[in-house]
Amino acid sequence: MNFVEIGKGERPTIVFAHGWARTHHDFIPAAEALVGSEKSLLVDLPGFGGTPRPEAAWDTKAYADDAAAFIREQVGAPVVWVGHSFGGRVGLRLGVHHPDVLRGLVLVSAAGIPLERPWWQRQRGKLRQARFRWLRQRAGGDAAAIEALEKRFGSADYVQSRALGLRDIFLQSIREDQSPDLPAIKTPTVLLYGANDTETPPVMGRRIAALIPGARYLELPEFDHISILHRGHHIIALRAKEMLAGGAA
């Protein structure tokens, strides 16, 4: 796994993991805010940045298994895992399956459970999917026509997953529902969500927090899914440092 090391100290204490189709660069501001006191590892998860994709269609459990092995090899001691969006999905899996590698979880705009939508939105989505499938069938094997339909009907992440060669992994990820497993997490956890986030909205964060025993939920005004990483980097750094000190007050 490709990574960058930032900060001082004998061994890393924090691992930063980015979101879907992002790289370690997203967390450079937060890591630099901690440079005087903590050493951080900023990773490129498999398939992104400088890390090649897995040979198989991994789900987030496989990503967590790989991350746990990485922490044991590169650090050799529990760390605070700071995960944004997709990196938050992986962090939740770590909390369930590999708690021994964790001192704490700081989940930033984390995904991992389905987004509950009103009935009318679900129906509109089903109609849109049906139309997409019908038009794709009519397109036959015309690759250019199918790609144009995907751009017309699909989300930005869905469209980008083709260019990244990660469509199979993307579909594995968005279909998952970690809700049944989250009560098993005993690792201290804090969740940060932007009030203006439409990709992983606050309602998702509150539901995840309610399922994790003792988890804290913090909603940050004015931030969206990406701006929370940059304009909110000092808040992320503060919560990670508090985790290392033994709490998330």
Measured from the Cβ of residue 135, the count of other Cβ atoms closer than 10 Å reads 15
The string of DSSP codes covering 25-56 is GGGHHHHHHTTTT-EEEEE--TTSTTSPPPSS
Per residue in 176-204, pLDDT tens? 999 999 999 999 999 999 999 999 999 99
The Cα 47–Cα 77 span in angstroms is 25
233 pLDDT more than 90: yes
d(CA 224, CA 170): 22
Report the greatest alpha carbon distance in the chain. Answer: 61
- Stronger pLDDT, 134 or 93, i.e. the higher one: 93
pLDDT, tens digit, 9 for 90 and up, residues 81-133: 999 999 999 999 999 999 999 999 999 999 999 877 666 666 776 787 788 78
- Mean pLDDT confidence for 197-216: 96
User: Does 249 score more than 50 pLDDT?
Assistant: no
Q: Residue 173 is encoded by which pair of tokens?
A: 């990820």
Q: Please, what is the average pLDDT of the chain?
A: 91
Cα dist from 19 to 39, 124, 184, 210, whole Å? 21, 27, 23, 22
Write down the pLDDT at residue 118: 67
Choice among 90-99, 141-150, 235-244 with the minimum mean pLDDT? 141-150
Alpha-carbon radius of gyration of the chain = 18
Confidence of residue 79 (pLDDT cuts 50, 70, 90): very high
pLDDT above 60 for 19: yes
- Residue 225 confidence (pLDDT) above 80: yes
d(CA 234, CA 33): 7
Q: In the prediction, which pLDDT does 120 show? A: 67
**Pick the residue with more confidence: 162 or 64?**
64
Task: Give residues with Cβ within 8 angstroms of 227, minimum separation 6.
Answer: 194
Is the pLDDT assigned to residue 247 strictly greater than 60? no
Query: Which CATH number describes the domain made up of 3-114+177-245?
Result: 3.40.50.1820
Nearest alpha-carbon partner for 240 in 65, 22, 33, 63? 33
Q: Where are the domains of the chain?
A: 3-114+177-245, 119-166
Average confidence (pLDDT) over 49-72: 96
